[in-house]
Amino acid sequence: MTNLAWWVAGTVATVLFVGFVAMIVRDNARLFDQERALAGQLAQSGQPAVATVLALERQPGGRPYAAPMKMRLRYADTRGREQTVELRLYIDRELLAGFMPGQAVHVRYDPQQPGSIAIDRELSPTDVPASWRS
């Protein structure tokens, strides 16, 4: 192979690799962004509840100030049935102590679909508002 052919093959391989990594990162971030979008919807129409954190596990990646976390919660719905759910969300590092196992957190859920749940960010904030972070 000539030098030009090697250069073209290397360039194509690099572009494919970067595209693959970008696709993986974007799909992973989408899981965490879905909970935030659901929290916005449930803030208006969701049923409030208090949940107990059963497990908290750091996930790969993250933002400079926020850690991606997988959290398992237990709460009782309006009928008194105990529900256990998993959430993936970003939590600012300064606020992680409030989400450790055993802690009580405020959530909102859809009474029609009790598994559709999000953190109530008014009562259990997950981020520190700071204009200098933008």
pLDDT at 51: 96
Domain with 9 in it = 2-132
Sign for the pseudo-dihedral over CA of 33, 39, 41, 42: positive
Distance, in Å, from the CA atom of 112 to the CA atom of 79, rounded to the nearest integer, reads 11
- DSSP bridge pairs for 122: none
Q: pLDDT tens for residues 73-105?
A: 999 988 889 999 999 999 998 899 999 999 999
pLDDT at 133: 55
3-state secondary structure of 58: strand
Q: pLDDT tens for residues 104-118?
A: 999 999 998 888 999
CB 20 within 8 A of CB 86: no
For residue 22, how many other CB atoms are within 10 A of its CB?
10
pTM reported for the whole predicted model? 0.72
Q: pLDDT tens for residues 52-78?
A: 999 999 988 777 788 899 999 999 988
pLDDT at 26: 56
Distance, in Å, from the CA atom of 127 to the CA atom of 134, rounded to the nearest integer, reads 13
pLDDT at 37: 85
For residues 40 and 22, the model is more confident at 40
Number of domains in the chain: 1
